[in-house]
Amino acid sequence: MAGHFEATPDGGAAVALDEVEIAILRSLAVQLLELIGPGDEPAEGEDPLAALFAEGPSEPPTDPALARLFPEAYGDEDSELRAASAEFRRFTENDLRTRKRNDALTVVRTLDALSLADDGGAVLTLSADECRNWLGALNDLRLTIGTRLEVSDDDEGEAGSLYRLPDSDPRKPMVMAYLWLGALQETLVETLMP
């Protein structure tokens, strides 16, 4: 179980993590929360139903990582498609941000609930619902880190230059995190497949 998820009898998954891995996962999830931004909770005295009908932004984010997490729906080849993308974003981005925030919060909360053993490790056991949250968060973390590392689709298939970075390269720790998150994500997907 060390380093990869295994299925549990109740449809969830479990993974053994050491103290450093827990700290890295928690730190990355908190950074993702900061990137996504705070939730749009109704202000005191504000009608909570009004929040359901609040419109989101119509312009794509300028931060490349956020643009990857909240991509254009229809591309931007012509003005008609840009208008359709803006309309789609206006009605969907707030909900998408809420889901991504909930996924990252689940990661933080499940990690915070762990009790470390004497050896500094713990077994993280997730319910089926928590697995789905973790899959979403792991995917968002990989998209964000990949964007910051300027990983292209070609790099994804081969992982070519990522594996060959010298230890002196300042990107090396993030590359290692990117690859490790990918391995975690892959084993979590495998545990959930029938």
Mean pLDDT of 159-174: 80
Integer Cα distance of 107 and 183 in angstroms:
16
In angstroms, rounded to a whole number, what is the distance separating the alpha carbons of residues 37 and 115? 29
In DSSP notation, 64-123 reads HHHHHHS--SS-SSSHHHHHHHHHHHHHHHHHHHHHHHHHHHHHHHHHHT----TTSEEE
Does pLDDT of 51 surpass 90?
no
Range in 10-19, 22-31, 87-96, 178-187 with the lowest mean pLDDT: 87-96
Q: Is the pLDDT of residue 24 over 60?
A: yes
What is the pTM (predicted TM-score) of this model?
A: 0.85
Report pLDDT for 87. Answer: 84
* pLDDT score of 181 more than 50: yes
